């Protein structure tokens, strides 16, 4: 049975419905990215400018998906557009090294505390795969610890502990150890009992862009325990890099990992990824001239679009703006306004839940009364299951779009969101929450 929220969505988006009907014959589920799957159908966008984007039916949306977190500068930032346009005239792929890759690498090293050396990729998934291979080659050990629900891309190793494991050999999964977060004693016990652990990786603000938070004490404890056991610590900064602060979560916490992975903001809205960290680990890619080492320990790395000129030009421009202008402070200020407004809205409407998050990533948690500091919100598994109700989450996302906001319950705030955008978003969230409540889902 179609809900009232769904019917309004269908009525507002006939063009998207038509396109999705075509796409189902082309793509699995009719989409090209799993998180764009949406019932009854996803929206189809035409263009974006600043904090807004438009769909094929002419609806303007205040955007908080923001290129899956990559657009802290907003859509079509004029400096990025100019840089990429100029590079298009010079060449999109020169099959050679360029000054641009040096400038891009230096921009990373200027901002990221752990970045002694850098290697470029085309995505975050590639970056974490390379990080795993490097630490295994460097340590001679096989196993890597990750944490429940922390997302590190879709390659075989990263998917360990995920509910969807099709096509992944058990032998691969056996090289991964999946632990619950925020339990440093369990981490230490695991390291003490298994000498074959090469590294620990985590999203440093918590799983799924910080939605399921970790404490600062846990992150600090990981740095301490990995140093004592000689295990490499990897921060997956694909999301947090250049967002939580100019220098990512590692600067925000004052904790320097041995390695980090990056993407999203790194590429200025174009495809780009990188692994950075201690030179002795990253240098496992280097040729040494020792045949035994170069064949059996060295990590080979190719990649047609590594540090390609277009992504490099966009990335240099974006990181320059992050470094030299108040990008983070502006985004954080707007996020603070949004978080306060959402919490006030929940209180006024007597809706159980909270809005919380670090820096410019805000999460709206509905359905459970609880106490938190509205920054790091730690919930029990039972509370998390209630909040993550997939049916309610879908209805909330549709309702938010019905009221002009593309978000649902996660808000990646950009430096170009204005106070008016934020206030409109809070109003839309209030209407959407009441729409969902009227359906008996809150």
**Which residue matches tokens 């306004």?**
337
**Which residue matches tokens 């938010």?**
400
Could you give the dihedral angle defined by the CA atoms of residues 63, 64, 70 and 73, in that order, rounded to the nearest 10 degrees? 60
Q: 381 or 99: whose pLDDT is higher?
A: 99
H/E element, 275: strand 273-277
Task: Judge contact between 5 and 399, C-beta under 8 A.
Answer: yes
Tell me the pLDDT tens digit for each residue of 43-72: 999 999 999 999 999 999 999 999 999 999
Distance CA 355, CA 396 (A): 14
Question: 4-75+326-438 adopts what CATH topology?
Answer: 3.90.1150
At residue 408 the predicted structure's pLDDT band, cuts being 50, 70 and 90, is: confident
78-324 CATH: 3.40.640.10
- pLDDT confidence of residue 42: 98
Tell me the pLDDT tens digit for each residue of 252-268: 999 999 999 999 999 99
Residues 174-203, mean pLDDT to the nearest whole number: 98
Question: Which pair of tokens denotes residue 419?
Answer: 């106070």
- pLDDT confidence of residue 119: 98
Whether 159 has a pLDDT exceeding 90, the answer reads yes
Contacts of 346 (CB under 8 A, 6+ apart): 352, 353, 354, 355, 433
Residues 288-310, mean pLDDT to the nearest whole number: 95
Domain edges within the chain: 4-75+326-438, 78-324
- pLDDT confidence of residue 113: 98
- pLDDT confidence of residue 430: 98
Number of C-beta neighbours around residue 342 at 10 A: 26
Task: Judge contact between 243 and 359, C-beta under 8 A.
Answer: yes
Distance CA 346, CA 14 (A): 32
Whether 163 has a pLDDT exceeding 90, the answer reads no
Q: Provide the H-helix boundaries in 91-210.
A: 99-111, 124-139, 170-173, 184-193, 207-210
Residues 421-432, mean pLDDT to the nearest whole number: 98
Residues 327-349, mean pLDDT to the nearest whole number: 98
Whether 329 has a pLDDT exceeding 90, the answer reads yes
Task: Judge contact between 282 and 116, C-beta under 8 A.
Answer: yes
Residues 293-298, mean pLDDT to the nearest whole number: 94
Tell me the pLDDT tens digit for each residue of 340-371: 999 999 999 999 999 999 999 999 999 999 98
Tell me the pLDDT tens digit for each residue of 108-158: 999 999 999 999 999 999 999 999 999 999 999 999 999 999 999 999 999
Whether 339 has a pLDDT exceeding 90, the answer reads yes
Q: What is the DSSP string of 22-69?
A: HHTTTSGGG-SSGGG--SS----EEEEEBTEEEETT--EEEESSHHHH
Residues 306-331, mean pLDDT to the nearest whole number: 98
Antiparallel, parallel or unpaired: β 60-63 and 361-366: unpaired
Task: Judge contact between 159 and 168, C-beta under 8 A.
Answer: yes
Whether 301 has a pLDDT exceeding 90, the answer reads yes
**Which residue matches tokens 């805000």?**
362
């Amino acid at each position: 049975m179609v809900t009232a929220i769904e019917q309004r969505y269908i009525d507002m988006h006939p063009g998207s419905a038509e396109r999705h009907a075509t796409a189902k014959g082309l793509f699995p589920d009719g989409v090209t990215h799993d998180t764009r799957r949406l019932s009854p159908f996803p929206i189809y966008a035409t263009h974006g400018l600043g904090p807004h984007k438009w769909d094929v039916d002419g609806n303007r949306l205040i955007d908080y998906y923001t290129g899956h977190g990559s657009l802290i500068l907003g859509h079509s930032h004029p400096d990025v557009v100019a840089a990429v346009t100029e590079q298009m005239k010079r060449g999109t792929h020169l099959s050679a090294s360029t000054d641009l890759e040096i400038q891009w690498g230096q921009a990373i090293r200027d901002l990221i505390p752990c970045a002694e050396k850098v290697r470029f990729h085309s995505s975050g998934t590639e970056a974490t795969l390379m990080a795993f291979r490097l630490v295994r080659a460097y340590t001679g050990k096989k196993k890597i610890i990750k944490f429940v629900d922390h997302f590190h891309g879709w390659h075989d190793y990263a998917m360990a502990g995920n509910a969807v494991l099709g096509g992944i050999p058990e032998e691969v999964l056996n090289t991964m150890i999946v632990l619950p977060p925020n339990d440093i004693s369990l981490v230490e016990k695991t390291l003490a009992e298994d000498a074959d652990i090469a590294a620990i990786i985590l999203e440093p603000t918590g799983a799924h862009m910080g939605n399921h938070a970790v404490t600062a004490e846990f992150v600090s404890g990981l740095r301490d325990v990995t140093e004592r056991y000689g295990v490499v610590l990897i921060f997956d900064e694909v999301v947090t890099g250049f967002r939580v602060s100019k220098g990512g979560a590692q600067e925000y916490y004052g904790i320097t990992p041995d390695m980090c992975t990056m993407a999203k903001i790194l590429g200025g809205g174009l495809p780009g990824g990188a692994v950075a960290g201690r030179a002795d680990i990253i240098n496992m890619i280097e040729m040494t001239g020792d045949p035994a080492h170069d064949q059996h320990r060295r990590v080979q790395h190719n990649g047609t679009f590594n540090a390609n000129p277009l992504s490099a030009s966009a990335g240099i421009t974006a990181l320059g703006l992050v470094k030299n202008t108040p990008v983070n402070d502006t985004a954080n200020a707007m996020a603070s306004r949004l978080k306060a407004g959402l919490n006030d809205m929940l209180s006024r409407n007597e809706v159980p839940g909270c809005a919380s998050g670090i820096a410019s990533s805000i999460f709206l948690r509905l359905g459970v009364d609880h106490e938190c500091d509205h920054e790091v919100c730690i919930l029990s598994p039972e509370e998390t299951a209630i909040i993550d109700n997939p049916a309610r989450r879908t209805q909330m996302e549709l309702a938010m779009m019905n009221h002009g906001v593309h978000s649902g319950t996660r808000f990646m705030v950009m430096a170009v969101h204005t106070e008016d955008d934020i206030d409109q978003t809070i109003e839309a969230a209030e209407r959407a929450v009441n729409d969902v409540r009227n359906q008996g889902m809150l």
